[in-house]
């Protein structure tokens, strides 16, 4: 398993100045509309693949996130700032290294804005520098691979992006790569639960319980796309098992933890990783709401919607980490704390809340740009289910 990741954060200095600007900041809604046929540009006006050659559904039949101009602009902003010409995603705010997670985010954004050139460059760099002999990705690169372990969230996001690219761009190579990476994940990073279903493990822990899991790695929409592409029903088992883990955690605590422990008998408990003293809702767990809001499946939408009252209770100026009972643990923040709340608001039917909070996230990122925050602003705008 990879070490506990570090995240660039917005410092406390100036946060009070932000509050007035953040509250009420709006961004236009982002319904997935089909691209205009016959053009050679993406929906935000940038050069990309011809829209007339593109499919409008991913492998699971869910409409591809054809962005409106505002969502497309957010996607392009992430790609333009963080993707080098050779396809490497650079964490400029974290020392200039590269992680598999970032490569995966760029792939997801590139297919959403129909930028095949960027997609191909990012995947070529990833395949050359991070792909391991077992079919999974090394998690960190800094001039060379310095983190040989794998990160299941990045691997699943990458496989999902490849599955969508296979349909969007009509690429058999992307379909084969998606199937291969997905199979490696299922074989080496999922474990069966005693009461049925499977659970996605965080890294290279083997494929049996007990295990430590990161619930923010769970990705039901990505799994559905891979099941449709490959016919492997284990993806449905993973979706059921992952959802059961999240529901168990939400029955125990107010805010889901970054990490959890799944015992051999299937019992789920909040846990920690690294030097953390107590379980916390931080920059990992904040992705849970966004992940479940991406899926249009009713059970997943219900999970996301159930988080909205809890995240709304944190107020319009959330910090970057809380105890699982909602006590602030830090003074800094990150745009993800707003984007996650925005996604859950949308799942709960609060479209105004979605717009307001996504706008607040953009203001925070403009004040202090971060790779992680910028990525989740784009992903939330492009992938949150509008059904």
Q: Residue 44 gets which letter from DSSP?
A: T
How big is the CA angle at 46 (ends 42 and 52), to the nearest 5 degrees? 30
Specify whether the CB–CB gap between 119 and 158 falls below 8 A: no
* DSSP letter (8 states) at residue 265: T
Enter the tokens of residue 270.
């909040």
Round to whole Å and give the CA distance between 333 and 30. Answer: 25
Question: What are 155-167's pLDDT values in tens digits?
Answer: 999 999 999 999 9
Distance CA(235)–CA(339), nearest Å, equals 27
Confidence of residue 277 (pLDDT cuts 50, 70, 90): confident
Other Cβ atoms closer than 10 A to 257: 28
Average pLDDT, the chain: 87
Ranges assigned E (strand) in the chain: 98-99, 140-141, 145-147, 190-192, 198-200, 211-213, 259-262, 268-271, 280-281, 322-323
Cβ contact 376:25 at 8 Å: no
What pLDDT does residue 23 have? 30
Kindly write down the DSSP assignment for every residue of 289-325, as one continuous string.
HHHHHH--SHHHHHHHHHHHHHHHTT-SS--S-EETT
Per-residue confidence band for 208, with pLDDT thresholds at 50, 70 and 90 = confident
Q: Please tell me the predicted confidence (pLDDT) of residue 63.
A: 58
CA gap 22, 204 in Å, rounded: 40
Q: What is the DSSP secondary structure assignment for residue 210, as one 8-state letter? A: S
Contact predicate 331/15, CB 8 Å: yes
Of 9, 6, 8, 1, nearest to 331 by C-alpha is: 9
pLDDT, average across residues 149-174: 96
Give me the domains of the chain, ranges plus CATH numbers.
28-303 (1.50.10.10)
CB 18 within 8 A of CB 344: no
- Measure the CA–CA gap between 105 and 378, rounded to whole angstroms: 9
Lowest mean pLDDT among 194-203, 280-289, 342-351, 367-376: 194-203
Rounded Cα gap, residues 117 and 279, in angstroms: 42
pLDDT band (50, 70, 90) for residue 314 = very high
Structure tokens at 87: 């396809």
Who's near 246: CB < 8 A, 6+ residues apart?
Answer: 215, 218, 256, 288, 292, 303
Q: What is the pTM of this model?
A: 0.88
Token reading at 359: 């706008």
CA neighbor of 27 nearest in space, from 338, 336, 355, 347: 355
Lowest mean pLDDT: which of 98-102, 270-274, 343-347, 366-370?
Answer: 270-274
Q: What is the pLDDT of residue 84?
A: 98
C-alpha distance across the termini of the chain, in Å: 35
Tokens of 17: 């100045």
Give the whole-angstrom CA distance, residue 269 versus residue 118: 41
Query: For residue 27, what pLDDT band results from cuts at 50, 70 and 90?
Result: very low
């Amino acid at each position: 398993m990879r070490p506990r990741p570090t995240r660039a954060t917005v410092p406390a200095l100036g946060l009070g100045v932000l509050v007035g600007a953040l509250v009420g900041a709006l961004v236009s809604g982002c319904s997935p509309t089909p691209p205009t046929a016959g053009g050679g540009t993406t929906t935000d006006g940038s050069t990309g693949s011809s829209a007339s050659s593109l499919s409008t559904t991913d492998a699971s039949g869910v409409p591809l996130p054809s962005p409106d101009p505002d969502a497309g602009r957010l996607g392009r902003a992430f790609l333009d700032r963080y993707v080098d010409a050779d396809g490497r995603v650079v964490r400029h705010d974290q020392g200039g290294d590269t992680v598999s997670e970032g490569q995966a985010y760029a792939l997801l954004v590139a297919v959403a804005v129909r930028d095949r050139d960027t997609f191909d460059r990012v995947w070529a760099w990833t395949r050359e520098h991070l792909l391991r002999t077992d079919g999974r990705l090394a998690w960190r690169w800094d001039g060379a691979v310095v983190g040989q372990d794998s990160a299941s969230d990045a691997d699943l996001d990458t496989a999902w992006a490849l599955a969508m690219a296979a349909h969007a761009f009509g690429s058999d190579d992307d379909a084969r790569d998606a199937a291969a990476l997905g199979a490696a994940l299922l074989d080496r990073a999922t474990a069966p639960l005693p009461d049925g279903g499977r659970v996605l493990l965080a890294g290279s822990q083997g494929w049996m319980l007990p295990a430590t899991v990161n619930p923010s790695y769970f990705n039901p929409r990505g799994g559905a796309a891979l099941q449709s592409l490959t016919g492997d029903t284990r993806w449905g088992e993973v979706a059921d098992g992952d959802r059961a883990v999240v529901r168990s955690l939400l029955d125990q605590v107010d805010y889901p933890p970054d990490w959890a422990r799944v015992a051999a008998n299937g019992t789920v408990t909040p846990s920690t990783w690294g030097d953390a003293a107590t379980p916390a809702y931080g920059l990992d767990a904040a992705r849970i709401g966004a992940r479940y809001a991406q899926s249009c499946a009713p059970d997943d939408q219900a999970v996301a919607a159930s988080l909205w009252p809890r995240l709304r209770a944190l107020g319009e100026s959330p910090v970057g980490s809380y105890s699982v009972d909602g006590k602030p643990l830090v003074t800094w923040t990150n745009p993800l704390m707003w984007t996650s709340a925005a996604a859950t608001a949308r799942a709960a039917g609060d479209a105004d809340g979605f717009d307001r909070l996504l706008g607040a996230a953009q203001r925070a990122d403009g004040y202090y740009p971060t790779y992680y925050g910028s990525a989740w602003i784009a992903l939330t705008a492009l992938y949150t289910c509008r059904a």
